[in-house]
Amino acid sequence: TRQRNHLDKELSDLRTVPVYLSHREINRYYEGFSNGVLWPLFHYQTDMVQDDAWRYWKTYVEVNQRFAEVVADKYQEGDLIWVHDYQLTLLPTMLRRLIPTARIGFFLHIPFPSSEVFRILPWRTQILKGILGADLIGFHTYSYMRHFTRSLLTVLGVESKGEIVSYEDRTLILGVFPMGVDTAKFERLANEKNVLERVAEIQQECRGQKLIIGVDRLDYIKGLPRRMLTVDRLLEREPSLRGKVRMIQVVVPSRTKVDSYKQYQQKLDELVGRINGVHATVNSVPIHYLYRSVSQTELVALYRSAQLMLVTPLRDGMNLVAKEFIASRTDEDGILILSEFAGAAAELREAILINPYDIDGVATTIKKALTLPSEERQARMRILRSRILANNCYHWSNNFIQTLQKASRVRPVAVQALSSSD
């Protein structure tokens, strides 16, 4: 009780209110349903959806209701409510019932899957109706928004007109808001003395080797085994590159209590060990595998040191690591190889886009990318940097909030006019 009172006080100082959950609720709501059902399904990994998902649905509903009650209790007239992500899809409608006049926004940070995949979900109707409680529903990309509107039509029979949805007695707005990073922060770090010193150390450690980096949270959507197999394929086809290319792969531990993630980590460990055993030379191993978190100084130094960065998820809502890499390249150099199935691909068109399932094709792309002339590398990076500098995380949040303020004020006719003028 004393610890909780102390925590409440600290959170209150930050103008934050907690929603306390029991271990059982966390296990069923967060690990069981959110990450065992919605996460794999929305990322097209249908074989990873837990078979006993029905056990966790009730807790998912109960926890969403708990959030609704806490928010409603703290709500004051004129407040904006911004609900985030797949763990709280039922919250907008629950809040709408408790606070009918509230201005509610919902943003989905992960992909919204095609209607053919979404319709697999037994609770598809409840999820869609839950989200439709919002005045503004935001996505990272236009394709996610299209998938959502298609699901509205096929599941609920609700038609949309462009970015406008009429549902029951309300008019909702859909929007595309690609999330950015704090570019100024990464630029500042990239030019700090200790980072530049670490860059020099990394380059010295590489002894003239071409440095390829990957930075990912441990997750099966990130395509890490296929990425390692791509390096294996590259060195198998181009044995002359052995000892001349170094891959540093940082894997940040995630969801360590979930069995599927433990199994995934074991598979990855074994794969890296096998590849290093086959392609190592007396002086080096091809893949330097770091299963741990790294400091921001070390992270930005890696970004600055690399000739090439691999971002190859099988599916990803956005992928901010790709944008962090670009923000850190104040030298306007470096090549980004990016999966076409990452949300960031819609924005970062000057990256080299690849199909992460095509191991042989990606290996070919890496070989070509390592020999790109400096003029082309710099031209690509300049354009990428100009785009992410303009669309940083502050632009993202301000744009969403301003759109929500407009969306909740206007009536259906005015909304239609707003849509056409946009």
Nearest to 134 by CA among 107, 163, 111, 161: 107
Q: Check if the beta carbon of residue 217 is closer than 8 Å to that of residue 252.
A: yes
* 338, β-bridge pairs: 311, 353
Q: Which helix (H) or strand (E) holds 186?
A: helix 183-190
Helix, strand, or coil (residue 253): coil
Residue 109 is a catalytic residue: yes
Question: Exposed, middle or buried by CB within 10 Å (0-12, 13-18, 19+), for 120?
Answer: exposed
Residue 316 is a catalytic residue: yes
Which residue of the set 109, 182, 288, 333 is catalytic? 109
Q: Check if the beta carbon of residue 343 is closer than 8 Å to that of residue 320.
A: no
Helix, strand, or coil (residue 121): coil
**Cβ partners under 8 Å of residue 18, min gap 6:** 7, 8, 11
Distance of CA 9 to the CA centre of its chain: 32
Nearest to 108 by CA among 171, 32, 164, 178: 178
341-345: long-range contacts at Cβ-Cβ below 8 A with a sequence spacing of 24 or more? 341/313, 341/314, 341/315, 341/316, 342/311, 342/313, 342/315, 342/316, 342/318, 343/111, 343/140, 343/141, 343/144, 343/178, 343/316, 343/317, 343/318, 343/319, 344/178, 344/311, 344/316, 344/318, 344/319, 344/320
* 102, β-bridge pairs: none
State the alpha helices, DSSP H only, in 370-421.
374-390, 393-409, 412-421
* Cα–Cα distance measured from residue 198 to residue 203, given in angstroms and rounded to the nearest whole number: 9
**Cβ partners under 8 Å of residue 419, min gap 6:** 161, 162, 163, 164, 173
Catalytic annotation, residues: 109, 316
